[in-house]
């Protein structure tokens, strides 16, 4: 076989790999999120590392006496999470089978996350300091769930792997607990520490608003939420939640333009519960 022929076959194979790695992880919904994503790293590898990181987080909180698993605050979050989870099938079917979990940590931290596979974490600080009502909590939780649905963390990890920033070992199963912990920490950096792109944040806002509206929570609460965040960000040290999110003013403007798309869903949800 000629060198030219070999190069052509190699180029074709590489193109096929890239095409297989590019897909939209969710259906559009009424908000119309359709962007093709680069998802080279297998979902199960990302979920495995995210679960390990989640377990470490919870164990540490438990040892420090900060893990809340019952009581009014936890039950309130659980009710909201349950209603939001019932809507995830609008965007993708497989998430109905995710092993969803909710963690509440008693700490004055203004932060919330949702790891791949549906592992939700809230800190009491974000609820108490911002005096959030149920609709505002749903706006935050819907936004974070949307990041998981859209696999934004997996997308960032895939990009890092393709650029040789992440070690190839991250793609290989290992029996070494120390190596697994190291990999989990490495994955956690891309899942939670690094800021999302403006595009990713816009997608999470859009899908999060639709989830909240379909679950019967007023999507306009996202505006009041970010106004509260704007006040909080006026402090010398911005809250952790804002360190990985764009400025509240930018977000408020974009959310306002989305409301006409999702308000009918909220109104329909209210009527269905009458």
Low-confidence ranges of the chain (pLDDT < 70): 1-21, 163-196, 235-247, 274
In a domain, 27, yes or no: no
Q: Is residue 22 part of a domain?
A: no
> Is 136 a residue of the active site?
no
Q: What's the pLDDT score for residue 8? A: 43
Residue 139 confidence (pLDDT): 97
> Helices (DSSP H) in 22-133: which residue ranges?
43-63, 72-85, 124-129
Question: What predicted TM-score, i.e. pTM, was given to this entire model?
Answer: 0.81
The structure tokens listed for 158 are 């895939």
Residue-wise pLDDT for 112-163, tens only, equals 999 989 999 999 999 999 999 999 999 999 999 999 999 998 888 887 777 6
pLDDT value of residue 14: 36
Angle at 170 between CA 49 and CA 47, to 5 degrees: 25
Which residues fall within 8 angstroms of residue 33, CB to CB, at 6 or more apart? Answer: 24, 26, 150, 203, 206, 207
Any domain includes 143:
yes
- Output the pLDDT for position 16: 41
Q: What separation in angstroms does the CA of 251 have from each of 159, 163, 180, 223, 243?
A: 25, 30, 37, 8, 14
Give the span between the Cα atoms of 179 and 196, in whole angstroms. Answer: 26
| Confidence at residue 197, expressed as pLDDT on a 0 to 100 scale | 76
Domain total in the chain:
1
Residue 167 forms part of a structural domain? yes
Give CA–CA dist 73/69, Å, rounded: 9
pLDDT of residue 30: 95
pLDDT digits (tens, 9 = 90+) for 204-225: 999 999 999 999 999 999 999 9
The predicted structure's pLDDT at residue 118: 95
CB 107 within 8 A of CB 113: no
Residue of 47, 136, 144, 155 with catalytic role: 144
**What range does the domain containing 106 cover?**
37-272
């Amino acid at each position: 076989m000629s060198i030219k022929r070999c190069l052509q076959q190699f180029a074709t194979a590489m193109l096929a790999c890239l095409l297989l790695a590019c897909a939209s992880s969710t259906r559009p919904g009424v908000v119309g999120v359709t962007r093709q994503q680069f998802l080279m790293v297998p979902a199960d590898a990302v979920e495995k590392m995210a679960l390990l990181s989640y377990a470490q987080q919870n164990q540490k909180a438990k040892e420090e006496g900060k893990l809340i698993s019952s009581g009014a605050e936890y039950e309130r979050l659980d009710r909201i999470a349950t209603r939001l989870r019932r809507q995830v099938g609008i965007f993708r079917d497989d998430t109905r089978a995710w092993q969803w979990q909710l963690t509440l940590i008693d700490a004055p931290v203004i932060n919330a996350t949702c790891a791949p596979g549906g592992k939700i974490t809230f800190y009491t600080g974000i609820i108490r300091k911002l005096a959030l009502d149920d609709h505002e909590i749903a706006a935050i939780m819907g936004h974070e769930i949307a990041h998981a649905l859209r696999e934004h963390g997996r997308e960032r990890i895939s990009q890092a792997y393709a650029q040789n920033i992440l070690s190839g070992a991250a793609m290989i199963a290992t029996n070494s607990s120390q190596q697994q912990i190291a990999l989990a920490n490495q994955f956690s950096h891309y899942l939670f520490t690094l800021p999302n792109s403006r595009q990713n944040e816009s997608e999470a806002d859009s899908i999060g608003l639709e989830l909240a509206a379909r679950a019967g929570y007023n999507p306009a609460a996202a505006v009041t939420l970010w106004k509260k965040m704007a006040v909080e960000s006026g402090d010398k040290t911005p809250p952790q939640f804002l360190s990985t999110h764009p400025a509240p003013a930018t977000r408020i403007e974009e959310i306002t333009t989305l409301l006409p798309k999702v308000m009918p869903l909220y109104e329909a949800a209210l009527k269905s519960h009458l």
